Structure 1
């Protein structure tokens, strides 16, 4: 069937929107971050070191560049003995302030867990039955239950995993849920693909290659097979 002129114009407009919208949004977000960093850093730059004092036009990104250099230098100094002593002294001062020490300790633990090179946190995407049996939700696997929570679960004979259940379309908020290890179905998609799936409301689905059928093999030692009738159930190895 031949399309009418109006239908062709509509299709061309939607195609152009699909091409231009991601580019425009990416440029806008990048520009906003650059201006936000400049507004925080540039007021503290001495006039003789500010390029805009010698030029007749603004130089966006100067504050962001200086902030990145400053953070890199702090990280370099923090690795040697003198830098660690200064950091420890600063942390000792922060720990004496009642409210500030709680916020600082929580934020430090979060950044150390997320940015640690050997951390496996949020590197796996899975499915759990939530909010009721038969309904499945996408989650990001954080880590095994640790500390007091782990001891309580061990006393009950349960092997629990901490997962993060983000909402759609804003994955920055969500629920922290402890789920039995055998109740999680691990997916092959990357965390980036999982985030895109959530943000798009299920419209952007990552491609999945067709797997070659193979014989069912028993789980290796030290691993547990997930319960369920599906043969595609993944294995989760405890840390």
Structure 2
């Protein structure tokens, strides 16, 4: 009986979690779309227009479509010369507002690093002894220390991110000697799956192995 219950759980749990995540995202998008509709009804009080907007609010899933189209149009606008100029002016305005500039600039730097097509937030997966000698974990190389921190570090150091399990969006940022890490042949995606699954979903063994501490970071 226990064997069959576990087998059934392994079948339904991934599907249930996937549906729950999609349902949550759909609810978030519909909520944002509903807020836009409410604001539009306040600005446009004319009766027929309010009725049309209220009808749009009742269409399930329309918020997701509208948000996707909005992101697509925004991306098209941001990639042309005029759009880039307008965004620079917008950044300049927000960067001069107290309190707002601290939050906006910090979020923008992180998002540009993680999601930019030219960014390389996670360059390589490595093995690192953490939190003590003899205990190994998977970390991701994010670059090399810079600024004042680099001045106080003598030798060749790497900046690495150690994710937590099963939620890799939280973790620890470390600056460690290059000699203390071992490069892994697995890709960043495979390493993330390995971390999220708590070691259950192991990537396949690579037939060729690179020498230890062979990290290409400049």
TM-score for the superposition, normalised by structure 1: 0.76
Match of 1:41 among 22, 33, 46: 33
Name the count of aligned residue pairs.
207
Q: Would you say the 8 A contact 1:161–1:178 is kept in 2?
A: yes
Distance in 2 separating the partners of 1:85 and 1:212: 48
Counterpart residue number, 1:80: 80
> Could you say if the C-alpha distance between residues 237 and 49 of structure 1 is closer, same or farther in structure 2, counting changes exceeding 3 Å?
farther
> Could you say if the C-alpha distance between residues 193 and 59 of structure 1 is closer, same or farther in structure 2, counting changes exceeding 3 Å?
farther
Counterpart residue number, 2:159: 162
Deviation, 1:162, is: 0.7
Distance in 1 separating the partners of 2:217 and 2:190: 24
Counterpart residue number, 1:10: 2
Q: Tell me which structure has the larger Cα radius of gyration.
A: 1
Counterpart residue number, 1:21: 13
Deviation, 1:38, is: 0.8
Distance in 1 separating the partners of 2:167 and 2:126: 18
> Could you say if the C-alpha distance between residues 180 and 199 of structure 1 is closer, same or farther in structure 2, counting changes exceeding 3 Å?
same
Unaligned segments of structure 2, at least 5 residues: 41-49
Deviation, 1:149, is: 3.0
Equivalent residues in 2 for 1:1-239 (5 A)?
Answer: 9-45=1-37, 53=55, 58-153=58-153, 156=154, 158-209=155-206, 211=207, 233=212, 235-239=214-218
Q: Would you say the 8 A contact 2:180–2:213 is kept in 1?
A: no
Q: Would you say the 8 A contact 2:128–2:182 is kept in 1?
A: yes
Distance in 1 separating the partners of 2:93 and 2:120: 32
Distance in 2 separating the partners of 1:92 and 1:37: 29
Deviation, 1:22, is: 0.3
Deviation string 1:37-86 (CA, Å, 9 cap, x unpaired) is 11011332365765x7179xx54321122112112212222223332232
Distance in 1 separating the partners of 2:30 and 2:208: 53
Deviation, 1:212, is: 6.1
Unaligned segments of structure 1, at least 5 residues: 1-8, 214-230
Distance in 2 separating the partners of 1:189 and 1:84: 37
Q: Would you say the 8 A contact 2:127–2:139 is kept in 1?
A: yes
TM-score for the superposition, normalised by structure 2: 0.83
Q: Is the helix fraction higher in 1 or 2? A: 2
The alignment's C-alpha RMSD in Å is 2.5
